[in-house]
Each structure stands twice: as structure tokens, then as C-alpha cells.
């Protein structure tokens, strides 16, 4: 399934399946704080999962993109707590939390971090979107000695044999797709 060919219904159905699979992960089921993101466009949908986590009493942190492509964090308080923010001179719109900014280091307290991506390979290496924001997050976690579960949400066809790898890349612990969970390491 190629993202560009997906309908809004495809994305919605996939989001429900992803939420159900992800909520079964012990890392998310027992986590007190989960750093996540709000999907945009044809990305695998995250709102159903964010709402379910919040309903379970999990503190959900969402990113706020900074001018240098680093990420600050804010708490998710429901869909009404999100605002559409234009970035890159209007080329990209993201839904971000409108409340208090918790600082870039807030992610180091998360029990699990949901990472966006375009693909994950058989080794657990993630192909990101190219902005480097989550590479900074992973480096920040490493420097802090934090070891949260790293989970990527993808469509089934985006789990591939091999993705390009840079020296700074780190493998993830699991990928969740509509048809199941695959663990690494």
C-alpha cells in the first residue's frame, strides 16, 4: 500500500487497527508517560491511539517543532488541545499541543517513544522523513541514559528488507502495523 494512494477511509481504518495492536504492547499498556506524535496526511493515523492512551490515564507528550528542527514537548489534553501550525514558510502544517512547553528534555522521562517513519527494516533500522528531528531525540535519550521502548507505526508494506543507514542511526524495539507487531533486539 503506497501512502499517496490511500483514501481518508483507508487511513481511518488503519488507525483503528494500529491503535488496537499498539495498546496490546506491554510497553504502552503499562507506561505512565508516552511520547508520541500527531499523524498528518496519509501517515498511519495516531489520534485513536493518543485518545485511548489518555483514556487509560497515560500522560501523552507531543512534539512541538522548533525553528532549528529540534523538538520541544507539550502534554496532550485531547483533540481540542491541538492547533495547526505552519512550518517551513508554510510548506508543512503540523498539529501541535497548545499548552505549556515542557522543554526538549521532557522526552527523557517517557516510558515509550512513538517515532514517525517511512520504513523499518529487518534489523529494526528506521527510515525517517529526513528532517533529523527524531535523530536529535534519540541522541538526547542516549545522552541522558534513558532507555524507553522505541516503537514505529507503519503500514504493512513499509516493513522492508533493508533501509539506508547512517552512522548515527539507532534501531527501534518494535514496529506496529495493522496486521501485527514485530520486535527487534
H or E element at residue 93: strand 92-97
pTM of the complete model:
0.93
Per-residue confidence band for 4, with pLDDT thresholds at 50, 70 and 90? confident
Q: How far apart are CA 163 and CA 161, in angstroms?
A: 7
Which cell numbers hold the place of 57? Answer: 490515564
**What's the structural domain count of the chain?**
1
Q: How far apart are CA 35 and CA 108, in angstroms?
A: 9
Q: Which residues partner with 97 through β-bridges? A: 82
Per-residue confidence band for 110, with pLDDT thresholds at 50, 70 and 90? very high
Question: Which range among 80-89, 93-102, 113-122 shows the weakest confidence by mean pLDDT?
Answer: 80-89
Mean pLDDT computed over 14-33: 91
CA-closest candidate to residue 114, choices 58, 157, 163, 166:
58
* pLDDT above 90 as % of the chain: 75
Task: With beta carbons less than 8 A apart as the criterion, state whether 181 and 25 touch.
Answer: yes
Q: 17: domain CATH number?
A: 3.40.50.10420
Q: How far apart are CA 180 and CA 20, in angstroms?
A: 10
Write down the pLDDT at residue 93: 87
Range of the domain at 117: 3-183
Per-residue confidence band for 166, with pLDDT thresholds at 50, 70 and 90? confident
Q: How far apart are CA 28 and CA 93, in angstroms?
A: 27
Mean pLDDT computed over 39-59: 93
Amino acid at each position: 500500500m503506497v501512502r499517496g494512494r490511500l483514501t481518508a477511509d483507508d487511513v481511518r481504518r488503519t488507525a483503528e487497527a494500529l491503535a488496537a495492536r499498539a495498546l496490546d504492547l506491554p510497553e504502552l499498556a503499562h507506561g505512565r508517560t508516552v511520547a508520541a506524535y500527531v499523524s498528518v496526511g496519509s501517515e498511519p493515523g495516531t489520534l485513536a491511539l493518543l485518545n485511548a492512551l489518555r483514556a487509560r490515564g497515560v500522560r501523552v507528550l507531543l512534539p512541538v517543532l522548533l525553528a532549528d528542527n529540534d523538538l520541544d514537548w507539550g502534554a496532550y489534553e485531547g483533540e481540542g488541545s491541538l492547533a495547526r501550525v505552519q512550518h517551513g514558510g508554510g510548506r508543512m502544517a503540523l498539529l501541535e499541543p497548545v499548552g505549556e512547553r515542557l522543554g526538549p528534555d521532557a522526552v527523557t522521562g517517557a516510558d515509550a517513544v512513538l517515532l514517525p517513519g517511512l520504513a523499518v527494516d529487518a534489523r529494526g533500522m528506521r527510515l525517517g522523513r529526513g528532517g533529523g528531528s527524531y535523530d536529535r531525540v534519540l541522541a538526547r535519550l542516549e545522552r541522558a541514559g534513558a532507555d524507553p521502548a522505541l516503537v514505529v507505526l507503519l503500514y504493512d508494506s513499509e516493513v522492508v528488507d533493508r533501509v539506508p543507514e547512517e552512522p548515527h542511526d539507532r534501531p527501534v524495539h518494535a514496529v506496529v502495523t495493522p496486521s501485527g507487531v514485530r520486535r527487534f533486539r
